Structure 1
């Protein structure tokens, strides 16, 4: 067989895009690629979810995607993240239809990062040129890169990682049974010693440690939510001996199963710049005190109306001023969940209070829900909450198609002394309206979070449609004194939308559901009118 005949089995490949990027604080959902993608991380870390499984991408890791592959989530909570991103496509010269691409996601650790990085840097230099010589050299480097990738994949397969993953899936399915660890090497097609070495390389644990950890994670969920006895929980996760289960649990978690069960009924105080009580209420936990904004919300307590009834009996803490730790201590809390209030000056006092948990900010509501669920052993309940909101978002997206299928949208907030221009990521508004409900952002808006003092940017942008959030009518009306505002396309064509959205709060599950319902009704009414 000639070399030419062999190579006819493989398609030609063509670089379609190459980027060297520095990213920070982004969160993307339902990302679908239409080419082959090779993404190499040189600094920082990100995370992704595929088929419900999360993976971490950190320095030295290589992400490989095939056409039509869908990532459920891709996010970076810290940064910066430095990556090289290479897109390439198959360039077949025959007329035969190629087989449908397999939808795959692979993550590899590159064993020769220096040489791999050298090729990427050279590619970065060449792809900025437009001459034929640079094109040929860049194509040659593409094949050199893919040759390295192929070698890395082969090494991984030779180490038996694929077989290990099969046995991990088997354990995840059968952990409730009296599982015989001695049968796993045979399932993987390896000798017992080779299997144990390969398993530890892949997971950092022995098979026994992994199985114990798997069972204990499920046991924690059952202890917190099932209402069953310790004996019932032990049997449900594969242990016939209750005492043995209790010893293992205490050794691993630091407290007995009985004490773990009692932790669900704790007196919780929320000291936050966000309505974290929303997340707690969704998990069946009513805080004994929580933040309010009495000058913003028109309710008696300063809670938004959609939470007012649910928070009956909860003390309102005025979040528009500093919270006195002494006031909180009079409530005898078991746990204080605290976020910064306008850079509170009394942080040191809170650190001295027993039971205070310091809570960092996150880019979207799911991170808050997941983190709080982990703290209070409500992980399975949080999953149900997230799925419920996801279902609502998809239903609303379909309903809003008559509104969103055409046109581009820009989101702003008008205050007495500034106009804020919201970006395409890094904020709950962008996540909900752009990424979930299907409003297409103006392509010239590329920043994250929001730009302050952005009236001139907005005028230069000259958007097609504007949505005004959380703004007083008089502040919006004052803009009409500016002839440049009146001359903008959206204003001239009467496409500035200012619903009554003071209580639209996409940061928590109840607030998000309220926002979805009210915004859907508002925009559908606009189209009918």
Structure 2
């Protein structure tokens, strides 16, 4: 049977890649190629030049330049790709691609991949038809897409007063059907969403614009009446705008790889700039969930790479709180502002940071109350856990993609909390400080009575527990392996410590017992 000529057959190329968390995939494009990617599972980021874009399940993205894909979820980031020569056609820049449920669309991708390898004219025609069907589906806007488009319109035009009728008309829906669809997708009405976005924008304006007035903020977020704005803000935030702005009466930036903003917030101060880890906490702008809401309006600095000193100074800080940075990094641009920089050495205890920061800000009077609250909570949780901790010794591990870390009992806030505050008896064979990398065989030789798995992602744990060697562990044989949901446990500050303690006992009661 004759076949089509290569120049006709190969106008499209279809493929798929699967990316584990923390892995980076380079998408290479030449200048004559356009590429569309579809996210079938997981989430992550696309990095193109200096810009980064979140990618989520069910969404498609057009790439005209090469870039890098990062996975940032426990699920594999599964990506389907169509590439074609720009001479065939190019999508307009303004095109909004449709959300498509993977259950519906993935079978089309898989069929296209299979047909691509077949050589008969009939099957190559079917391949071309399948690709065009995919492109048709991914550019056919659904109700969900129209709601997404409405949200983008609201966020980028907050000073414009939109009625529900006007938004519904732009979405080509009736006001009632638009309101129902919006609430179904977002959990709140369009009016409540608009107010929430205005409050969020108002916080950012307060924190990032030194000397701005409540009246100016009200106008910028689309509320002409300053008094109405103040009433709504107090209703939603719990504080009047003037009181909220006092949180930044002294504008403080945090330049650290530690979440020292936790300590500042506990002292009633919101920093104008603070560190974040976008790949570690992708769902909350690079922050653990217990800090995200409280830092709305704060300029977030990417702590996963060298800090941009100009970005820090753009926040107009009156004072910069700085700890030693990785690789001995020196912020040369900050040297000319040295009178603003408060240098804090690295410490072994969470409350040492609290006391030093409070001393710098003349807020020492608040420290005892904060420490007493934490101490009472530690005692309460220790008592609740006593049935689990009263017998046997423990080892704490972090199962990572390519290694297992066995942690010591000291000089780490989380391990200090577990062993020294909550009554867990440490196995005599664990390190005194830090951690060491171990094999499953070495864990078996350690012979700990009980094993606690922290911070570990499910696919990494599952890979380990399926091995025969895992069954040799004493803790496995006696069903004393505990695996609580702990990805956001970070007790280096008062707020993070309270968050962990509140979760600790309840997580242990319902934790997975790995066998």
Structure 1 length normalisation: TM-score? 0.48
